Amino acid sequence: MNHLLHLKHQDRIGWIGLGEMGYNMANNLQRYLASLHLKLTVWNRTPAKSQKIHRHGAHVAKNLEELVATSNIIFTSLSNDAAVEEIYAQLIGYAEQVEHSIIFVETSTIYPTLATQLSQKILSLPQKHSYLQCPVFGRPPVAKAAKLIWVTSGGDEKIIKKMCLYFTTMSKSIIHLKTPDVAKACSFKLVGNFFVVGSMEVLAEGLTLAEKSGVHQEDVLKFIEAFFPAPAWLEYSRKMVDGHVSGKDSGFSVDLGLKDVGHMRQLAKEKDASLPTADLAYSHLKSVQDKGLGAQDWTSLINPLRTASKLPSMTGVAPVIEHEERHAAVATAVREE
Ligand SMILES: NC(=O)c1ccc[n+]([C@@H]2O[C@H](COP(=O)([O-])OP(=O)(O)OC[C@H]3O[C@@H](n4cnc5c(N)ncnc54)[C@H](OP(=O)(O)O)[C@@H]3O)[C@@H](O)[C@H]2O)c1
């Protein structure tokens, strides 16, 4: 590495991954840094997605090597374990060569063992780098509103305290697991997502029974609003009844959902716990994916239940915008700004 930098006291923050979650989180952080006349350095595999945040003042790194050389804090938000593994293999390679220490903050939903492996590799380097596993709860619109629930693990009290300054720019609450065991945060996230997907499974079954019984769906929604006014219940029941999700804030795909539900089932198996509701949700999501509809919002898990009950599919469940279309949308948005 020929552009080694001796970082001063001031934090220099890098961000990798500008997807549905990453962009919204990074943008809020960039807004905070801009108020201090500082800027985030970003990198995304698809360069077009970096342009919008560049317009908001962020610096776009030429490559990962530059980002590592110029950052002493690096956040990552990546789709799945394979992406996290691939990017961290490169990050660790560069982190081995710098003279400064870096705090890595991994926010993706990944399997606990991967977090442990990454943490061990990073902590074994002589630079005294740190690795925090900090999964987040909340969908992209929640990330945009800086109202995520942030979970912390890894590091020590001093590092977590310092990093909270940045976490609060993206979240409404922070749950500190107070443990160096980064696998715990991944398990915590999978338990939380189990409550979400379990709620969806219950809602899908109940709404299907209501329709078969001639009970008006809008009346069921009124009951949910009065009796179970939790955001996830309100949002997912409304989506299932309306049969569509809107535009860019289209939520969570069946493909990503299967990753999470697969992980929670694997964790349950590994820990000798039983998770039958996740098994059911998995089979419904898988059946949607097998039809080539893995890009649909995961509320479409209601459709296999409807089919089994001889009801028509909710065809209005809009597909999550495909990557290519998203890139085109970003390019258009940039041109229009
Ligand atoms: N969406 C949600 O509601 C939600 C909520 C909480 C947590 N999460 C978790 O947050 C993470 C990000 O989710 P998301 O919804 O933002 O996903 P997303 O929109 O699909 O974005 C994924 C990001 O990962 C990058 N990526 C994927 N494979 C890569 C690779 N091999 N090398 C480099 N970059 C790669 C993508 O780059 P490109 O732009 O080049 O494709 C993109 O920046 C996931 O782990 C997800 O489970 C999501």
- Coil, strand or helix: which one is 171? strand
Positions of the chain with pLDDT lower than 70, given as ranges: 1-9, 244-250, 316-337
Q: Please give the number of the atom of ligand 1 that sits closest to the Cα of 253.
A: 1
Separation of alpha carbons 276 and 261, rounded Å: 11
Any atom of ligand 1 within 6 Å of the Cβ of 136: yes
Rounded to a whole number, what is the largest CA-CA distance in the chain?
A: 71
Model pLDDT, residue 8: 42
Last residue of a domain, one of 153, 180, 207: 180
Domain containing residue 203: CATH number: 1.10.1040.10
Model pLDDT, residue 319: 47
* CA proximity to 38, closest of 18, 58, 17, 19: 58
Q: Please give the number of the atom of ligand 1 that sits closest to the Cα of 110.
A: 45
- 95 located within any domain: yes
Q: Are residues 174 and 242 in the same domain?
A: no
Q: Are residues 33 and 112 in the same domain?
A: yes
Q: Please give the number of the atom of ligand 1 that sits closest to the Cα of 45.
A: 40
Q: How far is CA 94 from CA 4, 63, 90, in A?
A: 11, 11, 6
Separation of alpha carbons 289 and 90, rounded Å: 31
Q: Are residues 86 and 211 in the same domain?
A: no
Q: Are residues 195 and 129 in the same domain?
A: no
Q: Are residues 190 and 137 in the same domain?
A: no
On whether the CB atoms of residues 103 and 12 are closer than 8 A, the answer is: no
Separation of alpha carbons 257 and 173, rounded Å: 24
Last residue of a domain, one of 118, 148, 180: 180
Any atom of ligand 1 within 6 Å of the Cβ of 296: no
Token digits of residue 132: 């925090």
- Please name the amino acid found at residue 15: W
Q: Separation of 134 CA from ligand 1 center, angstroms? A: 15
User: In degrees rounded to 5, what are phi and psi of residue 132?
Assistant: -110, 135
Q: Are residues 85 and 215 in the same domain?
A: no
- 332 located within any domain: no
Any atom of ligand 1 within 6 Å of the Cβ of 88: no
- 1 located within any domain: no
Nearest CA to ligand 1 atom 42: 19
On whether the CB atoms of residues 24 and 15 are closer than 8 A, the answer is: no
Domain containing residue 46: CATH number: 3.40.50.720
Last residue of a domain, one of 158, 180, 202: 180
- 295 located within any domain: yes
| Overall domain count for the chain | 2
Model pLDDT, residue 325: 45
Q: Are residues 158 and 193 in the same domain?
A: no
Separation of alpha carbons 333 and 183, rounded Å: 38
Any atom of ligand 1 within 6 Å of the Cβ of 299: no
Any atom of ligand 1 within 6 Å of the Cβ of 46: yes
Q: Quick check: is 189 catalytic? A: yes
Average pLDDT, the chain: 90
On whether the CB atoms of residues 32 and 97 are closer than 8 A, the answer is: no
- 38 located within any domain: yes
Any atom of ligand 1 within 6 Å of the Cβ of 16: no
Model pLDDT, residue 330: 35
- 331 located within any domain: no
Q: Are residues 83 and 195 in the same domain?
A: no
Range of the domain at 36: 13-180
Q: Separation of 212 CA from ligand 1 center, angstroms? A: 38
Q: Separation of 217 CA from ligand 1 center, angstroms? A: 34
Q: Are residues 94 and 243 in the same domain?
A: no
Q: Please give the number of the atom of ligand 1 that sits closest to the Cα of 109.
A: 45
Q: Are residues 243 and 162 in the same domain?
A: no
- 8 located within any domain: no
Q: What is the pTM of this model?
A: 0.90
Q: Separation of 109 CA from ligand 1 center, angstroms? A: 9
Model pLDDT, residue 316: 60
Catalytic residue, candidates 189, 212, 239, 271: 189
**Residue in this structure with the two tokens 């020929």, named with its chain if needed:** 2
Separation of alpha carbons 38 and 18, rounded Å: 19
Q: Are residues 150 and 199 in the same domain?
A: no
- 53 located within any domain: yes
Any atom of ligand 1 within 6 Å of the Cβ of 19: yes
Q: Are residues 239 and 165 in the same domain?
A: no
